[in-house]
Amino acid sequence: MSTPDPASPDLAFEDAYRSLDELVGRLETVVVGQKPLIEKLIVALLAGGHVLVEGVPGLAKTRVVRELARALDLPFRRVQFTPDLLPADLTGTQIYRPSTGTFDVRPGPIVTSVLLADEINRAPAKVQSALLEAMQEGQVTVGDETILLPETFWVLATQNPIEHEGTYPLPEAQLDRFLLKILVGYPDRAAEIAMLDLPSVAGGPRPDAPPVGDAPLLHPADVIRLRRLTAAVRVADAIKEYVVDLVRATRDPEAFGLGLAPLIELGASPRGTISLVRVARARALLSRRDYVTPHDVKSLALDVLRHRVMVSYEADAEGLSVDDVLRKILDHVPVP
């Protein structure tokens, strides 16, 4: 019998499956009742895309991001966005050194691997533009110096859907840079009861205290390896055509026999098409497969497209949300 090749793609996938199972299991022990959020964040991590998380306070959004960064051994920084935040508070600033007569750059909190932008819609446009450069180009500019960000740079932003006073709507160009927009709901009754047994609730360590004896499961090099493996997940031509049809149906619903044209103001861009394939590959890997199925596409289509499609005033008048319109498209476009 021949000895298996350690570099075999099959063994690489099997190793990835085990690592991802352990990662999900670790996070579920410290964040109860939010498995869908955990899985979608890992999908975005594998696909190498930024995430916008929307939900009311107290749903463990910050906690799950912090614990995920710990499990991956990635540097983590959290920035509370406020109306008086300045771009320099995020990117860094130049410090004058009288002894040398020169300016030194002091990098800001954005120079990290995992950046949690808490309540991102509370910061003004200048701060958003500074963040947009980092999200799109993987770099920040401070004065006349450009700082390259780590390959693992990842933005996870949160916003509160209830409070609108003192907030700034995110520009469409920035929204389109988020791979996913995840809506987080309340946990079920059983999960909420289980939360009461967590050490942090029972008077133990603070929720943000480092876990005792929990070594990282993966490291930055492993994250990069997993992303490359995700890109190798197979996508059949029929799946690609299905993705293109879904996205094109948001732009020209009449061509697909959908009477939704009066309800849609703006359809998804080609970036939405590319993003949908990327997350489908990542979900397949998380589901222990090296190929994409239509279910991988449909299960994440809302998260990929809801912030890329604008509904009209007529949809608002009929009480239809963007998710309602997208579900009609998902139900109508034939599945391969």
At 44 the three-state DSSP class reads: helix
Residue 246 has pLDDT above 90, yes or no: yes
**Quick one: tokens of 8?**
């075999």
Residue 2 has pLDDT above 50, yes or no: no
The lowest-confidence range among 59-63, 77-81, 204-208 is 204-208
Q: Regarding predicted confidence, which is higher, 3 or 256? A: 256
Residue range 159-215, pLDDT digits in tens: 877 766 667 778 787 888 899 999 988 888 887 887 787 766 555 555 555 454 478
Would you say 274 and 282 are in contact if contact means Cβ atoms under 8 Å apart? no
Residue 256 has pLDDT above 90, yes or no: no
For the chain, the structural domain boundaries read 9-77+147-228, 233-332
Would you say 250 and 271 are in contact if contact means Cβ atoms under 8 Å apart? no
Amino acid at 28: E
pLDDT band with cut points at 50, 70 and 90 for residue 8? low
Q: Which CATH number fits domain 9-77+147-228: 3.40.50.150, 3.90.45.10, 3.40.50.300, 3.40.50.720?
A: 3.40.50.300
Residue range 287-317, pLDDT digits in tens: 999 999 999 999 999 999 999 999 989 988 8
> Mean pLDDT throughout 66-78?
92
pTM summary value: 0.87
Q: How far apart are CA 137 and CA 147, in angstroms?
A: 11
Q: How far apart are CA 303 and CA 312, in angstroms?
A: 19
Amino acid at 276: L
> Mean pLDDT throughout 229-241?
95
Residue range 30-45, pLDDT digits in tens: 888 888 899 999 999 9
Q: Fill in the DSSP letter of residue 161.
A: S
In terms of phi and psi (left: phi > 0; alpha: psi -120 to 50; beta: otherwise), the region of 165 is beta
List the one residue out of 66, 60, 293 whose CA is nearest residue 186. 60
In the prediction, which pLDDT does 47 show? 95
In the prediction, which pLDDT does 175 show? 86
Mean pLDDT, the chain, integer: 86
Tell whether domain 233-332 is in CATH 3.30.420.40.
no
In the prediction, which pLDDT does 74 show? 93
In the prediction, which pLDDT does 212 show? 40
Would you say 230 and 282 are in contact if contact means Cβ atoms under 8 Å apart? yes
HSE at residue 253, side-chain half, CA atoms within 13 A, is 22
Residue 10 has pLDDT above 70, yes or no: no
In the prediction, which pLDDT does 206 show? 53
Q: How far apart are CA 119 and CA 2, in angstroms?
A: 56
164: Cβ–Cβ under 8 A, 6 or more apart, which residues?
A: none
> Mean pLDDT throughout 32-59?
89
